[in-house]
Amino acid sequence: MENNAILKGVLGLAALTGVRKIVVGGGKKLEGELEVQGAKNSILPLLSGTVLCQGESVLHNCPNLSDADAACRILNCLGCKCGREGNRVTVNSEQILNTDVPAELMREMRSSIVFLGAILGRTRQCRLSFPGGCELGPRPIDLHILALKKMGVDIKEEHGYLNCSAPKGIYGARISLSLPSVGATENIILAAATAKGMTEINNAAREPEIVDLAAFLNKCGAKVSGAGTGTIVIEGVPKLGGAEHRVIPDRIVAATYLCCAAITRGELILKNADYSHVGAMIPVLEQIGCNIYTYGSYAHSGEGKIYINAAKSLRAPHKIRTSAHPGFPTDAQPMFMALASTLKGTTVFVETIFDNRFRHAQELTRLGAKISVDNRVAVVEGVEKLSGAELEATDLRGGAALVTAALYAEGTSKITGISHIDRGYDNLVGNLRKIGAEIMNN
Ligand code: UD1
């Protein structure tokens, strides 16, 4: 039977069960051109940053994601007016009426902790529920708390809530992070932007999303320098106004599409892509046998392109070790594991950022992948054939890895748990279909 007919039959059954699924008929070579969406991990701190602005901010290139919707709900709950028209999000933060974020909104998105620094910066007080662990393991916020305390914020942990206040104001401080936490760096920048005096962050996170946040805040009147390096200096200013800003391209979404092209031994052009942000991933793709060319510079002209062309026979990259930027991103590890499952040879993955970031491995084995996991190390022995199966996404990038592998697997795969994928991918299914995948949402 034709793959399409099988897919239609499966879709009919899936509709009867009422559970949302992505259904993939594997084995189609992907070819064409795609535009990379704006970065999820930029939008969240940027939306939080608008709380500091006494005026209207406009963010362009905001993808349609459930995490972005959750951030808008938090803004509206604080009294800001957040609205969306297509990919343009407008936030008016003239008035802040509330400084508490209810537990149910905090639970919707773990990264909502990034609102802490901004609310404190604007109002000198904030109450929000303690974010728990997540799918990737425990997610402590000790570094955020230590830094804010050093800046004069009184923080009490009571009944699962963080009660924070700084009646005498927030003060600049010299802060050395024991590890370059992205969220802690963002919270410190946000709290420091309107603090009294100078703040210096040592061992700061260097991710492109930190650079994007600093660029936006500087347009609003802040004085942040050194973003993108290990030392960031913030000179506090009395107040910020609103600004207009274009969100940077999502490097993890770019990596996902590159892996989808490679796993199907296809050919793809990514538009609206910044090659400098995907630096650590390009050599891995080249090493396995893909040709990669980059055109233009997103940073200089706003027009960057990445071209990938995968050879028919690819070989395993041997070792992938995740680390903080500019190292290999932990967020791209799952999609590269899906790819490695189909390559000739063995790949060892070493995960250095999160405790529990191999949950997709077990699902990949349902397709026939050969993966053994020991704590933070996974060994993948490439196989020639994967076969379609029923899979469950248990986290955002793990879900994207399952879709990636299903594009290669013979026959039909059905993936549930797709609300995880909605958190970070705008129209993943439509985009993959556009470049030749047999894939549907149901
Ligand atoms: C951000 C990204 C996430 C990415 C991660 C690492 C957003 C919205 N999310 O998450 O997609 O996977 O960076 O690149 O931008 N840690 C502590 N104490 C702290 C803070 C962090 O021990 O106070 C640990 C964490 O448990 C983790 C590591 O540091 O093991 C990195 O965390 P962090 O860089 O803070 O990640 P997030 O900002 O949560």
What are 164-180's pLDDT values in tens digits? 999 999 999 999 999 99
CA of residue 329 to ligand 1 center, whole Å: 11
Closest ligand 1 atom to 40 CA: 8
Hey, what long-range contacts does 97-105 have (CB within 8 A, 24 or more apart)? Answer: 99/123, 99/125, 99/126, 99/127, 100/126, 100/127, 100/128, 101/74, 101/77, 101/126, 101/127, 101/128, 101/129, 102/77, 102/129, 103/129, 103/160, 103/161, 105/70, 105/73, 105/74, 105/77
Closest ligand 1 atom to 138 CA: 26
User: What per-residue confidence (pLDDT) applies to 1?
Assistant: 45
Give me the catalytic one of 134, 164, 220, 260.
Answer: 134
What whole-number percentage of the chain has pLDDT above 90? 86
Closest ligand 1 atom to 324 CA: 14
Q: Which pLDDT band, with edges at 50, 70 and 90, does 6 fall under?
A: low
Chain-wide mean pLDDT for the chain? 93
Let me know if 134 is a catalytic residue. Answer: yes
pLDDT digits (tens, 9 = 90+) for 358-395: 999 999 999 999 999 999 999 999 999 999 999 999 99
Tell me, what DSSP letter sits at residue 314?
Answer: -
Q: Is the CB of 271 under 6 A from ligand 1?
A: no
Q: Is the CB of 354 under 6 A from ligand 1?
A: yes
- Select from 155, 148, 154, 108 the least CA-distant residue to 132: 108
Instruction: Inform me whether the pLDDT recorded for 196 exceeds 50.
Output: yes
Phi, psi (deg, nearest 5) at residue 119:
-65, -45
> In the numeric block, which tokens belong to residue 323?
């680390």
Q: How far is CA 344 from the centre of its chain?
A: 29
**Angstrom distance (rounded) from CA 164 to CA 162:** 6
